[in-house]
Amino acid sequence: MSHQTALSILELFFLEYIKKEYRSKLCWEDGILRDDITQHTTREVADFYQTSPFPNYQGFENKASLTRVIFENQFLNDLKNHIGLNKKIVEVGSGTSQLSLALATGTNNFVLAMDPTIHSLKIGRDFARKNNINNVVFLNADLFADPIENGFFDVVWCSGVLHHTSDPEKGFEIISEWVIDDGLIIIGLYNSFGRLRTNIRQIIFRLFGKSNFAKRIVSKMDPYLRRELSAEKKQAWWRDQYEHPIETKFTIEDVMRWFDQNNVEFLGSIPCATFESDLKSIKDMRGDRGTYVTRLYAQLGMVFSTSAEGGLFITIGQKKKQRRN
């Protein structure tokens, strides 16, 4: 049974990462900071993930196995090394908070795992307690409420989230204010081209009336679902990819425009905006935007890449220094 308590004056004082006018709205519930989520679309998405929280923890017995699997990803491993120690990180739309916990493990960084789905956060909280990970705070809130203090975090990570909101561009505008000058902001979105294979499978699923037969057919077509996975992992992936109520898609050009409008310098993207195929480390990214042709080539390549399953692309930016009067 959950137990909600109002925040004490001392606790309110230490919530320096929360805007002052927002702090009194929060309460503690079993180790999670909570707010009432009232925005309709956010509430709809939060309710959707109550059934099958994403990503699923099946196969991760402890923090060692979690971090090992997470950092088999070359980019994520480079990101953790690049961040270093004594930094402040927020994962916007953390889901079950696997990345937040992996970034926190073995460091003195402060990590805020923020998500509108309370059940997902509880799974992350339980894993943190079990594995004695004490430098992660869990926040159940809506990013559109804009609860975070501007210019507080060294790194803002938001992947697989904005394309499930009512106004992705506005969402980016809000979270881009949370990062410090010269801080990193990393965005992951469904790509208009890279998502085509999944979109075709979604159409097939609907054409066959979303029946069990259709699900079996599409599951055989989906490379991820053909792997040896637990039933829970497959169910979480299926719902996220084929039954989600809200989904939009974007191009690298779209995100570049968002960056330009919000004082964020483009550093690089995955896939690369140029013809280069090797993944650069963050410190070596020079902001080469390529041309329309190179960007189109890179995004069309996602259609044929097994590593781009799901059609997600990553864009990395750095907050420009504000001019002081």
174-186 pLDDT, tens per residue?
Answer: 999 999 999 999 9
123-152 pLDDT, tens per residue?
Answer: 999 999 999 999 999 999 999 999 999 999
Q: How far apart are CA 173 and CA 263, in angstroms?
A: 10
Q: 161-200: string of b/e by CB count within 10 Å (b at 16+)?
A: bbbbbeebbebbebbbbbbbeebbbbbbbbbbbbbbbbee
Q: How far apart are CA 197 and CA 299, in angstroms?
A: 13
How confident is the model at residue 10, as a pLDDT? 45
Domains within the chain, CATH numbers bracketed: 4-192+248-319 (3.40.50.150), 196-242 (no CATH)
Q: Respond yes or no on whether the N-terminal peptide bond of residue 223 is cis (omega within 30° of 0).
A: no
Read off the pLDDT of each residue in 43-54 and give the average, rounded to a whole number. Answer: 85
Task: Check whether 275 has a pLDDT greater than 90.
Answer: no
Confidence class for position 230, pLDDT limits 50, 70, 90: confident
150-172 pLDDT, tens per residue?
Answer: 999 999 999 999 999 999 999 99
94-107 pLDDT, tens per residue?
Answer: 999 999 999 999 99
How confident is the model at residue 67, as a pLDDT? 86
How confident is the model at residue 307, as a pLDDT? 64
Q: What are 27's strand-pairing partners?
A: 6, 34
Confidence class for position 24, pLDDT limits 50, 70, 90: confident
Using CA atoms, how far residue 227 sits from 230, 258, 301, in Å, is: 9, 36, 22
Confidence class for position 34, pLDDT limits 50, 70, 90: very high
Q: How far apart are CA 237 and CA 233, in angstroms?
A: 6
Q: What is the mean pLDDT of the chain?
A: 90
How confident is the model at residue 151, as a pLDDT? 96
Residue % of the chain over a pLDDT of 90: 70
Read off the pLDDT of each residue in 5-28 and give the average, rounded to a whole number. Answer: 75
pTM of the complete model? 0.91
290-313 pLDDT, tens per residue?
Answer: 999 999 999 999 998 766 568 999
Q: How far apart are CA 28 and CA 124, in angstroms?
A: 16
